[in-house]
Amino acid sequence: MKIDEIDAYVTVIRCQSLQQAALALGLTQPAITRRLQNFEEALGVELLDRNTRPLKATATGRIVYEQCRVIQRELDVLRGLVATGTPPAGTLRVGVAQTIADVALSDAIRDLKAAYPDLQARASTGWGSRLLQRLEQGELDAAAILLPANKTFDDTLSARSLGRIKLAVVAQKGMLKKCPHTLAGCQSVGWVLNPDGCGFRDGLQRALTGLGLTLRLNLETPGTELQLQLVAGGNGLGLVPLPLLHASAHADALDIVSLSDFKPLIDIWLVQPRVLGKLQQPVEQFGALIERAFKETRKQRAA
């Protein structure tokens, strides 16, 4: 078997399409097909269920895929060892949760480019669960996401917390003066939240479920500033990181609601494959830049 056959197989599984895999590798579809056939012949097993659309791995094929990802990461380390004297180059693919992007992405990308001029940082934003999935599938080199402090990760990933963010429950100023400040007492008001997949919403959902309550969703929309505008207009309760609340144009029209049975906190996680080769240093610096941005935001608020 050959390395290019391994690369072809991993790309097909990731893309779930021979055509898309060929485009990703800059090859023709027949060339991809030949490499897959050669790889299967070398192993003596069928790796793909060719009766499904999109293409999926067989049970054995999935095990082989995970091992191929390990081989690719080890090869990256080997390439890094023989190129120790050269600075990182190529593309660094990072995923960033939208809330983190609102606070830190612009400055972090700028400083990363200044430190590594030969490295192209390509960032994409989204919900933490989706970014984590893309990282596990090899589509990203690292991700800065918001997840609970007790989150566990796949064995193939390395993760460290960059800090913790307090979340605030907010309401239109004066709305909840007569309501008991508990989740149950606020149940009739309803919520203005991010779409499904948001870590904040998942945490609230778990807290409500633990109390035997269901989530009453008044409005579902992405974008913290739009949500705060809707909450300030009396459309329900919001759940927002304190740094974004204090920076909002709608802060003066909102009350922070202290709930006795809900004290939401969430961690900023930097997650990456266990082996990154020469991209390790830029990823660590990217994490440090995000961590610094949130520390500076807390200092500004305290001042």
CATH number at residue 75: 1.10.10.10
Q: State whether 185 and 252 are in the same domain.
A: yes
Closest among 61, 29, 58, 59 to 43, alpha carbons compared: 61
Final residue of a structural domain among 58, 81, 104: 81
Q: State whether 34 and 46 are in the same domain.
A: yes
| 146, 267 Cβ separation under 8 angstroms | yes
Q: State whether 186 and 226 are in the same domain.
A: yes
Q: According to the model, what pLDDT value does residue 81 have? A: 61
Q: Which domain CATH number covers 185?
A: 3.40.190.290
| 266, 145 Cβ separation under 8 angstroms | no
Domain that holds residue 29: 3-81
Who wins on pLDDT, 143 or 203?
A: 143
> What's the average model confidence in pLDDT over 86-91?
77
For 169-221, how does the pLDDT look when each residue is reduced to its tens digit (9 = 90+)? Answer: 999 998 887 666 889 888 889 999 988 878 888 889 989 999 999 999 999 99
Question: Does 54 sit behind a cis peptide bond, omega within 30 degrees of 0 on the bond before it?
Answer: yes
For residues 34 and 96, give the distance between their C-alpha atoms in angstroms, rounded to a whole number: 37
Q: According to the model, what pLDDT value does residue 139 have? A: 87
Q: State whether 61 and 101 are in the same domain.
A: no
For 2-26, how does the pLDDT look when each residue is reduced to its tens digit (9 = 90+)? Answer: 999 999 999 999 888 899 999 988 8
Q: State whether 195 and 248 are in the same domain.
A: yes
For residues 19 and 29, give the distance between their C-alpha atoms in angstroms, rounded to a whole number: 6
Total number of domains constituting the chain = 3
Q: State whether 288 and 241 are in the same domain.
A: no
Q: State whether 150 and 277 are in the same domain.
A: yes
Q: State whether 148 and 169 are in the same domain.
A: no
Q: According to the model, what pLDDT value does residue 200 have? A: 85
Final residue of a structural domain among 51, 81, 111: 81
Q: According to the model, what pLDDT value does residue 172 have? A: 94
Q: Which domain CATH number covers 284?
A: 3.40.190.10
Q: According to the model, what pLDDT value does residue 302 have? A: 54
Q: According to the model, what pLDDT value does residue 75 have? A: 81
Q: State whether 157 and 176 are in the same domain.
A: no
Q: State whether 175 and 226 are in the same domain.
A: yes
Q: State whether 273 and 131 are in the same domain.
A: yes
